[in-house]
Amino acid sequence: MENSEESSILESLPDSDAFSSDPTENLYGFDLRKIPSWLNGSLIRNGPGGVDKYGKGKLAHFLDAPGLLQNYQLKNGELTYTCRFIQGKSYKQNLAAQRLILSEFGTVGIPDPCQTIFSRISSLFVSPFESILSDNANIGIHPFGDEAYSLAEAPFAHRINFEKPGNT
Euclidean distance between the first and the last CA atom of the chain, given in angstroms as a whole number = 45
What does the pLDDT look like over 44-57, one tens digit per residue? Answer: 999 998 888 888 87
Q: What percent of the chain has pLDDT over 90?
A: 18
Taking CA atoms, 2 is separated from 7, 8, 82, 112, 162, in Å, by 9, 10, 38, 50, 47
d(CA 120, CA 103): 15
Contact assessment for residue 64 and residue 100, using Cβ atoms and an 8 Å cutoff = yes
Q: Is the pTM of this model over 0.75?
A: no
Q: Is 9 helix (H, G, I), strand (E, B) or coil?
A: helix
Domain locations along the chain: 36-159
